C-alpha cells in the first residue's frame, strides 16, 4: 500500500515558503524523534539552501534514547545543520533552543536586528506546541489531528527572535514506501488515509524484531508471537474483542495497537535508525537502476 497525502493547501505553502526564504536567517525543522528521517521533509533542505538549520527531534521522551543520539550525530554531519532532542513541553529544553537560535543569529543581534526564524515541519510533530512554548503564550493552534495550521503567521518573541510559522507540509510521494507506513504508524498521516490493519501489521512486525519484550509485556502475551499476523490476532482477542463465531476483531485490535504505540504505552520506541534508512535507500536506488536498465528510453 502506497500512502500519499498532499492536500492542496500544502502545495500553496511550498510556494509561499520559497518566496519568503530569502528574508529568513535561520530555519527550525521540527521532527518526530521516533522517525527522524521519515518526518524530514526533503523540501526543507531544497528550499533553505545555505540558510542554517536546527533540526529538533521532538517527542524525544517517546523515542529510544540510544537511537536518538545516533540521529543527532547523523544530522550534525550535514551542511549548516545543528540537531538536538527535545520535549517541547519542558521549559528548560525550550530555553536551550532559544540560546542556540541566538548563538546562530548572533551577527543579527549584534546589529540590533531580530533573528528571523522560519519554523517548518510535517503535520503532527509538535510544531505548534513548540511555538507556544517559545512565545510563552497560546499563539498557535494545536491538536492531535495533523494539518491543524493552515496559514503563515509572524510571531515576535520580544527577545530578539521573530518566528515565521508555516503550515505543516508533506512531500507528494513517500520514498521508500516504508516511510509512509512509519508516518502512518506515528499518526502524522490522517487515519482516514490509511488502512488500520495494514499499518498495524507493519508496526507489529517491526516491534517483534526490535522491541519484542516491550510488546510482549505491554499486551501481557503468554508467548512471543511468531508473526505480525499472530500478534495482531492475540492483541485483538485480548483488547479488541471477538466477533460472532469467536473470530478476533482485528480492526479494533489494530486500532488499539497503533493508539498504544503513538501514546508511548508500549515503551520508548524508535521506528527507524540511520543504518536501517541507509539500507532502504540503497535498495531503492538499486531497484530504480534495475528498472531503468530494463526499460531504456526509446529513440525518437
* CATH number of 226's domain: 1.10.1580.10
Task: Kindly report, residue by residue over 212-242, the tens digit of the pLDDT.
Answer: 999 999 999 999 999 999 999 999 999 978 8
Q: Are 40 and 87 contained in the same domain?
A: yes
Same domain for 14 and 149, yes or no, is: yes
pLDDT digits (tens, 9 = 90+) for 271-299: 999 999 999 999 999 988 888 888 766 55
Number of structural domains (the chain) is: 2
DSSP symbols for 236-292: IIIII-EETTTEE-HHHHHHHHHHHHHTT-S-S--S--HHHHHHHHHHHHHHHHHHH
pTM of the model: 0.87
Shared-domain flag, residues 121 and 205: no
Residues 158 and 75 in one domain: yes
Residues 242, 204 share a domain: yes
Residue 37 lies in a domain: yes
Average pLDDT over residues 241-266: 93
Mean pLDDT of 26-41: 94
Domain for residue 188, yes or no? no
Which domain, by its residues, includes 118? Answer: 8-165
CB atoms closer than 10 angstroms to residue 161 = 23
Which three-class secondary structure string do you get for 60-78? HHHCCHHHHHHHHHHHCCC
Q: Is residue 248 included in any domain, yes or no? A: yes
Amino acid at each position: 500500500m502506497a500512502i500519499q497525502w498532499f492536500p492542496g493547501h500544502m502545495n500553496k505553502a511550498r510556494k509561499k515558503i520559497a518566496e519568503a526564504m530569502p528574508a529568513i536567517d535561520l530555519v527550525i525543522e521540527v521532527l518526530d524523534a521516533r522517525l527522524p528521517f521519515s518526518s524530514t521533509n526533503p523540501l526543507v533542505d531544497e528550499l533553505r539552501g545555505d540558510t542554517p538549520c536546527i533540526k529538533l527531534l521532538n517527542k524525544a521522551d517517546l523515542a529510544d534514547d540510544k537511537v536518538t543520539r545516533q540521529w543527532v550525530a547523523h544530522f550534525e554531519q550535514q551542511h549548516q545543520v545543528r540537531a538536538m532532542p527535545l520535549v517541547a513541553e519542558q521549559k528548560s529544553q525550550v530555553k536551550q533552543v532559544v540560546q542556540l537560535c541566538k548563538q546562530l543569529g548572533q551577527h543579527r543581534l549584534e546589529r540590533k536586528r531580530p533573528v528571523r526564524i522560519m519554523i517548518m515541519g510535517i503535520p503532527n510533530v509538535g510544531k505548534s506546541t513548540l511555538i507556544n512554548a517559545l512565545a510563552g503564550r497560546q499563539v498557535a493552534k494545536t491538536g492531535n489531528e495533523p494539518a491543524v495550521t493552515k496559514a503563515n503567521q509572524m510571531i515576535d518573541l520580544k527577545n530578539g527572535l521573530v518566528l515565521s510559522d508555516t503550515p505543516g507540509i508533506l512531500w507528494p510521494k513517500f520514498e521508500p514506501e516504508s516511510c509512509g507506513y512509519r508516518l502512518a504508524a506515528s499518526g502524522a498521516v490522517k487515519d482516514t488515509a490509511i488502512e488500520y490493519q495494514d499499518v498495524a501489521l507493519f508496526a507489529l512486525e517491526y516491534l517483534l524484531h526490535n522491541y519484542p519484550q516491550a510488546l510482549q509485556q505491554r499486551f501481557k502475551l503468554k508467548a512471543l508471537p511468531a508473526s505480525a499476523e499472530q500478534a495482531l490476532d492475540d492483541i485483538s482477542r485480548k483488547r479488541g474483542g471477538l466477533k460472532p463465531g469467536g473470530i478476533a476483531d482485528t480492526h479494533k485490535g489494530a486500532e488499539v495497537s497503533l493508539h498504544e504505540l503513538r501514546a508511548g504505552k508500549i515503551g520508548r520506541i524508535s521506528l527507524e535508525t540511520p543504518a536501517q534508512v541507509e539500507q532502504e535507500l540503497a535498495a531503492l536506488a538499486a531497484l530504480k537502476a534495475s528498472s531503468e536498465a530494463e526499460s531504456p528510453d526509446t529513440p525518437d
